[in-house]
Amino acid sequence: MLQRIVSGGRWTQAQPAAACLAARWMSSNAGELAHALDDLPPYRPGSNPKWERVEAAKREAALGGGEARIAKQHKQGKLTARERLQLLFDPGSFKEAGALVQHRCNDFDMDRQQPFGDGVVTGSGKVFGRPAFAFSQDFTVFGGSLSESHALKICRLMDRAVAAGAPVVGLNDSGGARIQEGVMSLAGYAEVFQRNVDASGVVPQLSLVMGPCAGGAVYSPALTDFTFMVRHSSYMFLTGPEVVRSVTREEVTQEQLGGAGTHTTKSGVAHGAFDNELDALAGVRELLSFLPLSNRDKLPQIPCTDPTDRQCPYLDYVVPGSELEAYDMLGVVQQVVDDGQVLEIMREYARNMIVGFARLEGRTVGIVANQPAVLAGCLDIDASVKAARFVRFCDAFNIPLLTFVDVPGFLPGTAQEYGGIIRHGAKLLYAYAEATVPKLTVITRKAFGGAYDVMSSKHLRGDVNLSWPTGQIAVMGAKGAVEILFRGKDTDMKQQEQEYELKFSNPFQAAKVGFIDDVILPRTTRQRLCQELEVLADKKVWRPQRKHGNIPL
Amino acid sequence: MQSRRRLLACLRFLAAAPGGERHLSSTAAGSARAADGRLFNKLLVANRGEIAVRVMRTAKRLGIPTVAIYSEADAAAVHARYANEAVCVGPAASTASYLNIPAILAAMKQTGADAVHPGYGFLSENASFVEAVEGAGATFVGPPTYAVEKMGDKVESKKFAAAAQVNTIPGWAGVTENADHALTVAKDIGFPVMIKASAGGGGKGMRVAWSEKELREGYELCTQEAASAFGDSRMLIEKFIEQPRHIEIQVLGDKHGNVVYFPERECSIQRRNQKVIEEAPSPLVTPEMRRAMGEQAVALCKAVGYHSAGTVEFLANPQRQFYFLEMNTRLQVEHPITEMITGQDLVEHMLRVAAGQPLTVTQDQLLHCSGWAMECRVYAEDPARGFLPSIGRLQHYREPRGPSVRCDSGVQEGSEISMHYDPLISKLVTHGVDRQSALAGMRRALDSYVIRGVRHNATLLRSVLDVPQFVEGDLSTAFLAQHYPTPASSAPNRLPLSSQQADELLAMAAMLWVGKQRRLSSGGDVAQVQAETQLVLTMDEQQVPVTVRPAEARMVGAAATTTTSAAAATPPGGGGQALEVQLPHRIMYVRDCGTGNAQLVRAEVDGQAAVLQVLEAGPRQYALQHCGAQRVVQVDGVLAAQLARHMPVPHVEDFSKVIRSPMPGTLVSVTVKQGQRVAPGDEVAVVEAMKMRNVLRAEVDGVVGAVEAEAGAVVAADQVIVRFS
């Protein structure tokens, strides 16, 4: 009891719970007398100058850039670096490392300002009882600017995280490089970048941009697995509006250039945005709960109360009778997964593709799904890149992939071709082909042309490829096919279309040759996937030795 | 004793599984026309949805094969699958299918059906359909043409009623010729008056006018509605009775001149003149009043030579004076409550009567009711938008179950509530020994009724059950308008919670939160969530500090909190451990009982069973529904709650500057022009959807900045029609 309180660093005003409870049970005076010393504070020689100096330094470190700057930060709807960490980790679990670090710069009178911590708080703690590491830039100290020591703290933290095999969360709130330190600051960035790359695929790396993140600094979040932003208080860009104006004469605000809206809808730099910091930190905790701690960790599994044999009658009706009608694929996914909970990644970007995390029987799965309600669910550059990166993340961390297919093909047009849809589409193809995690695929309706191949098909070593009776696995839709097959021929197109439909607009052609393992009733989808996944849990694939493949970047 | 036996028989009938065809031989005397003693060879049900299923259920029990008709939009509908045979009678629009008499006659011929039950609505009160059916040599399961004709016409029916010594509403008038004539009539009778379509029903083409202006406006709208809904725009005007209660008498007659009446039903809880909550018997009615009403109803039936089931509707005032309103010559929507308190199967009686058998029930048997029954009509509609229908597919759908719960529905999970038909999802009926227990049963039933995918009124219904006046039986047809005066006040997130209910909601939210933390932490170190958890819950902008600790800790001492294993934190079967939730002013004990259903939480709160619905679960908040009220509960740790004040205020869009279409439909007219000044309440546009014309009115003073849609355009829900500058 006492041990815990002392190590907590300070006395809490409220009586500890256990003491309360004990007091309730010890109702007699004799009982209270027996434990009279419980209330005595521990030995704490305030007069000892050595102890006092440490205490004072820690108090100073805890205040960061001082109360005035903290108030200013709060006024902007932003929390301090330490507050953020306390919210990110389970209550009381955060342990700081490097609180007393100071910078080593003597230029520009910097030696006269030596704040403890040097603009970044680093340490570790627990998220839902599981270990994680985090650094949090302190905007109240030199605007969170990155110095040599600041960078070194981050690097040490990352080294420890990789060694310990636990995720790293970066909370970015920094004005940029510490100009006074010159190249030492740039070196610091690069050291962090190198570690981001070294840790990539070893431990999950998450970035939460909670303030400015400009210039070279943006590349650290860009190298991590997921980047999140806070609406209206964070922005990311390489060159700010002023430079943009002087070079290209474009008038643009910070928000337009690099706000959360821009990066979650237009650029795809950020994977999600939150309305405020409390939501953001809660959201990052939620995401961490889905992820293994490292590539050597087992897939997390939580107790599942949603019956694995739950039937989903809704799915029997969801695919419309008319081919031209759309439906919401997210609704389909929500029916299938545990408790209907899907944590979507990049929800606002390339909405014709859904990616996200969910659970089946309590085990994390990565969801990739065409969204017929947007652009008919076709594959375009953005959707391919979005899904490709997600597939590779899941593969790196042994998260099984669950793919829902309703894809009419690739989006045609000069914009796509000039933009390199061939190159970008190849990324998704590559990612699926390379992935060795269990791959389960459900074709709900269309699986046309090259897009069929790409979407976790049997040919890309899909483990279980299922189709609903409404599945249509073909080179293209009936109308287009008939137009090509009978071009210039004098024939009844309508009848030919019907014949083509009868022949190809169904799962039989594919099932006949084993490209589809089974045609299932939609309502049984969840049950079937849970069963298949259980069987595949220990899937192993051996690949020939190589340094690394060459994904078409 | 006897009534109890009847009730049990009734419940047994209700519990009969779909398709469980018990072959009852017809014991009663009479002409059993079918070869093997069945009442009929085959029964075609000329209807859809719950009533079609309801009728078929009895037919199946009586061993009569059934035929469903369906429109192209209903190919996968429950009623079409429930029947032994199903015939498509046309495209989605009901005029082309369920009202398509030639197609229905063809379906009869094709299937060899020798009887037709019309259900309610559609062709149930259409005399030419009765003639057509009978002309085709089949039996119409319903009243004779003459009665349908006379009672179907509101003007005619009143003449009959007056002649049969039935109390009628003072100052009633015949059909009005035009708005001017209507005005003269109204002035004669005195405002307020009720304008209603002669051919009306279901609240369509019906409005109350309190002034000349309202009369002119209302007359216009009613005429248009009646023309489009019934193809008959004749209007009549009558005195509007204030604080009226709607009480009706179920009657049943046979072809041998016998007519009996059943205990009354009270259907005062209405919206837009459409019943939503009904009960039997009525809390107002005394045995004397019951007898008087019943005897008048029987007299009217005898006057028109009525047979089969029918309903005589009265308006009653709090002084127990009652006036004839109209007679419905069909099986009413709300017939189940009568069945619940009498143990009779009205559809069976209708079939027997149609087959020529004399009544098998006597008036004496019907004088006493067994207990109390209540019915809620659950509609796919949006109370927050003036009860406009809400269309969509039922993503999650779970009906309440229980020994005295009956849910008559024609949908299943996955069914579509389509824009083509009445958006009724189900009729939820509960029975109890008295009104209080029927009411308590209904509360429980509505609480556990899971409907997702469409907006619905179950929340509002549940809320009504807690209004003190309702609990006391102090009802009127203006009840909803009085207690929920604006659309906003019937929005689920605005429905009230008592302080006890609010405490329960908070305690269960804390329980859900702690349960989730434990589940997510099960892969890690659980010791920390085993101990006490301090939370701050935010609901309705109030922060409530809450402490949650395992309830067992009190029993076994503090030490146990650190030694409890991870397994104990989450016992198998989804049930949770008992928690002590300390709210600022009280302590509650809660335990999650687990349902294996993410939408529904069953818990024990202070030893009482409680039900909570989860609408949405986010990382920091829950959207929950408790006792009909929907609330967002934000759950934070102590620190996050302290820091919440620094968070920016969420941006809320101002919709008072625009007029949006409340639902998908056709824009009939735009009343305003650009630059025009409007005052609150001014008509801005009219949108027609589901045959209802909805007047959109300005909510604030303003000048029209832009008109963004033209009359005749098809508009989507929430589409902006007019923007104010």
Residue ranges, comma separated, of all CATH 3.40.50.20 domains in chain B are 2-141
The answer to whether domain B655-724 has CATH 2.40.50.100 is yes
Answer yes or no: do B393 and A130 touch at CB < 8 A: no
Q: Taking CA atoms, what residue in B is nearest to A327?
A: B393
Residue B304 is inside which H or E element, if any? helix B287-304
The domain segmentation of chain A, as residue ranges, is: 2-39, 49-290, 313-471+515-536, 475-505
pLDDT of residue A480: 82
Residues of A in contact with B639 (CB under 8 A): 83, 86-87, 91
**Does ipTM surpass 0.90 in this model?**
no
Domain B2-141 class, CATH top level: alpha beta
Please name the residues between 590 and 649 in chain B that touch chain A, using a CB distance below 8 Å.
Answer: 594, 596-598, 617, 619-620, 636-640, 643-644, 646-648
Residues of B in contact with A338 (CB under 8 A): 598
How far CA A147 is from CA of A134, A188, A214, A215, B533, in Å, comes to 18, 7, 15, 15, 39
Nearest alpha carbon to residue B469 among B269, B275, B276? B269
What tens digit of pLDDT does each residue of A125-154 get?
A: 999 999 999 999 999 999 999 999 999 999
Please name the residues between 536 and 595 in chain B that touch chain A, using a CB distance below 8 Å.
Answer: 549, 553-554, 557-558, 561, 570, 574, 594
Residue ranges, comma separated, of all CATH 3.30.700 domains in chain B are 499-646
What average pLDDT does the segment A427-439 reach? Answer: 97
Answer yes or no: do A87 and B522 touch at CB < 8 A: no
Q: How far does B110 lie from chain A, in Å, by closest CA?
A: 27
Backbone angles phi, psi at A10, to 5 degrees: -155, 160
Asked if B98 contacts B123 with a C-beta cutoff of 8 angstroms, the reply is yes
Q: Which CATH architecture has domain A313-471+515-536?
A: Alpha-Beta Complex (3.90)
Best interface-test mutation with A: which of B543, B597, B643 has the largest number of A CBs within 10 A? B643
Spatial separation of the C-alpha atoms in residues B298 and A206, rounded to whole Å? 78
What average pLDDT does the segment A451-477 reach? Answer: 94
Query: Quick one: tokens of B460?
Result: 């509002």
Answer yes or no: do B648 and A278 touch at CB < 8 A: no
Contacts of B519 (CB under 8 A, 6+ apart): A302, A303, B570
Flag residues of chain B having pLDDT under 50. 1, 7-32, 528, 553-574
CATH of B149-167+241-490, one of 3.40.190.150, 3.30.470.20, 3.10.110.10, 3.50.50.60: 3.30.470.20
Q: How far does A278 lie from chain B, in Å, by closest CA?
A: 7
Cβ-Cβ contacts under 8 Å between A and B: the total is: 124
Three-state DSSP class for residue A347:
coil
Residue ranges, comma separated, of all CATH 3.30.1490.20 domains in chain B are 170-240
pLDDT of residue B202: 62
Answer yes or no: do A129 and B76 touch at CB < 8 A: no
Residues of A in contact with B551 (CB under 8 A): none
Spatial separation of the C-alpha atoms in residues B576 and A307, rounded to whole Å? 16
**pLDDT band, residue A7 (cuts 50/70/90):** very low
What tens digit of pLDDT does each residue of A209-257 get?
A: 999 998 889 999 999 999 999 999 999 999 999 999 999 999 999 999 9
Three-state DSSP class for residue A30:
helix
Max mean pLDDT range (A108-117, A460-469, B550-559): A460-469
Tell me whether the CATH fold assigned to A49-290 matches the one assigned to A313-471+515-536. Answer: yes
Answer yes or no: do B523 and A302 touch at CB < 8 A: yes
Note whether B392 contacts A: Cβ–Cβ < 8 A: no
Facing residues of A359 across strands? A364
The DSSP code sequence of A450-487 is: HHHHHTT-GGGT-SEEEE-TT-EEESS-HHHHHHHHTT
Q: Please say if the pLDDT value at position A1 is more than 80.
A: no
Query: Which of B395, B594, B647 has the CB atom closest to A278's CB atom?
Result: B647
Asked if A287 contacts A333 with a C-beta cutoff of 8 angstroms, the reply is no
Domain B170-240, CATH: 3.30.1490.20
Asked if B12 contacts B34 with a C-beta cutoff of 8 angstroms, the reply is no
Q: In this predicted model, which residue has the larger pLDDT, A25 or A451?
A: A451
Domain A49-290 class, CATH top level: alpha beta
What tens digit of pLDDT does each residue of B629-682 get?
A: 999 999 999 999 999 999 988 766 666 678 888 777 788 888 888 888 888 778
What tens digit of pLDDT does each residue of B170-185 get?
A: 766 567 778 888 888 8
* Cβ count within 10 A of residue B53: 26
Residues of A in contact with B525 (CB under 8 A): 126, 129-130
What tens digit of pLDDT does each residue of B399-409 get?
A: 999 889 999 99
Spatial separation of the C-alpha atoms in residues A28 and A20, rounded to whole Å? 14
Q: Is the dihedral of CA B351, B352, B353, B356 positive or negative?
A: positive
Best interface-test mutation with A: which of B88, B514, B520, B554 has the largest number of A CBs within 10 A? B520
Residues of B in contact with A275 (CB under 8 A): 648, 650
Residue ranges, comma separated, of all CATH 2.40.50.100 domains in chain B are 655-724
- Out of B266, B278, B326, B399, the active site residue is B326
Best interface-test mutation with A: which of B78, B415, B556, B647 has the largest number of A CBs within 10 A? B647
Spatial separation of the C-alpha atoms in residues A236 and A222, rounded to whole Å? 10
Q: Is A216 a catalytic residue?
A: yes
Answer yes or no: do A18 and B561 touch at CB < 8 A: yes
**Pairing mode, strands A464-467 and A518-519:** parallel
pLDDT of residue B709: 85
Q: In this predicted model, which residue has the larger pLDDT, A331 or B385?
A: A331
**pLDDT band, residue A199 (cuts 50/70/90):** very high
Domain B499-646, CATH: 3.30.700
Query: How many CA atoms lie less than 13 Å away from A205 in the CB half-sphere?
Result: 25
pLDDT of residue B5: 52
What tens digit of pLDDT does each residue of A244-278 get?
A: 999 999 999 999 999 999 999 999 999 999 999 99
In eight-state DSSP terms, residue B649 is: P
- Out of A451, A474, A481, A510, the active site residue is A451
Answer yes or no: do B570 and A318 touch at CB < 8 A: no
pLDDT of residue B552: 65
Q: Taking CA atoms, what residue in A is nearest to B414?
A: A314
Q: Is B326 a catalytic residue?
A: yes
Backbone angles phi, psi at B411, to 5 degrees: -135, 165
Query: Which of B396, B414, B597 has the CB atom closest to A316's CB atom?
Result: B414
Asked if B429 contacts B407 with a C-beta cutoff of 8 angstroms, the reply is yes
